[in-house]
Amino acid sequence: MAANCTALATAERRDLADFLETLTPEQWDQPSLCRGWTVRDVVAHMLSYEEVGLREFAGSFLRAGFRFGELNDRRLEQLGGQTPGDLLEYLRAHAEPAGPTAVAGARIALTDGLIHHQDIRRALGQPRVVPPERLVPVLDFALKAPPLPARRNVRGLRLVATDVDWSHGSGAVVTGPGEALLMAVSGRADALPELEGPGLATLESRVRRTS
């Protein structure tokens, strides 16, 4: 499974690189779904841990007060000034995850890459069909990943994907496409209109507090 997730994460990054090659300079500087971050910032963030050793990561996390947001902002400074061409070259050179993103059998890289790919595409109004073999493991892992608010957002709810074989939890039901469920529980209010069910109001109130 670990080797498979590495391959899936690598394929996701290559797909993102292919998409980024189609963007204009203006699109690189447009806002993404990540508050305060442009498309360029999101790409730089994704790559900012690739050459960081685990010991260095642990030290940086400690200095950031164990706050993922603070750590991400500090790491972003390392690549935030790179040109789109530089970032694209770096992304292709680091398509296979390394460093902290390769932990947990590369599930971190796959989850981070897929969600941020959607952060960019949704903001630019350029949707895609996410390959189910990538989406399903990310749906599972997102509910365990500490940096994401997914675990808190889904408490007491049952999520049911309508396009892939996936469900989670018990309680009031929320249904919709798997990608929209993923993005919503990860704090992206942009995906909420694509969902429905008696649990949607609860999910929406939680997501809008964290987005």
63-75 pLDDT tens trace: 545 455 555 566 5
pLDDT tens per residue, range 76-96: 666 667 899 999 999 999 999
User: Which residue among 124, 142, 173 closes a domain?
Assistant: 124
Q: Do 105 and 191 reside in the same domain of the chain?
A: no
High-pLDDT (> 70) share of the chain, %: 84
Q: Is residue 147 part of a domain?
A: yes
Q: Do 104 and 151 reside in the same domain of the chain?
A: no
Kindly state the tokens that stand for 199: 């649990």
User: Which residue among 83, 99, 124 closes a domain?
Assistant: 124
Residue span of the structural domain in which 166 resides? 134-210
Q: Do 17 and 56 reside in the same domain of the chain?
A: yes
Q: Do 66 and 147 reside in the same domain of the chain?
A: no
DSSP E strands in 55-180: the ranges are 157-161, 167-169, 172-176
Question: What pLDDT was estimated at residue 61?
Answer: 45
For 162-172, what is the mean pLDDT? 97
Helix, strand or coil for residue 63? helix
Question: What pLDDT was estimated at residue 71?
Answer: 54
Q: Do 87 and 154 reside in the same domain of the chain?
A: no
Whether the CB-CB separation of 179 and 135 falls below 8 Å is answered with: yes
Band the pLDDT of 104: cuts 50, 70, 90: confident
Question: What pLDDT was estimated at residue 62?
Answer: 45
Q: Do 120 and 201 reside in the same domain of the chain?
A: no
Question: What pLDDT was estimated at residue 20?
Answer: 98
pLDDT at residue 42 greater than cutoff 90: yes
- Residue recorded with tokens 């969600």: 115
For 104-118, what is the mean pLDDT? 94
The count of structural domains within the chain is 2
Q: Do 33 and 72 reside in the same domain of the chain?
A: yes
Task: Round to whole Å and give the CA distance between 104 and 94.
Answer: 18
Question: What pLDDT was estimated at residue 98?
Answer: 86
pLDDT tens per residue, range 113-158: 999 999 999 999 999 999 999 999 999 999 998 889 999 999 999 9
Cα 211 to its chain centre, rounded Å, is 14
Kindly state the tokens that stand for 57: 């990561």
Q: Do 23 and 101 reside in the same domain of the chain?
A: yes
Task: Round to whole Å and give the CA distance between 125 and 87.
Answer: 22
pLDDT at residue 99 greater than cutoff 60: yes
Beta-bridge partners for 196: 175
Q: Is residue 129 part of a domain?
A: no
Mean pLDDT of the residues in the chain: 88
For 43-50, what is the mean pLDDT? 83
Q: Do 46 and 100 reside in the same domain of the chain?
A: yes
For 171-194, what is the mean pLDDT? 98
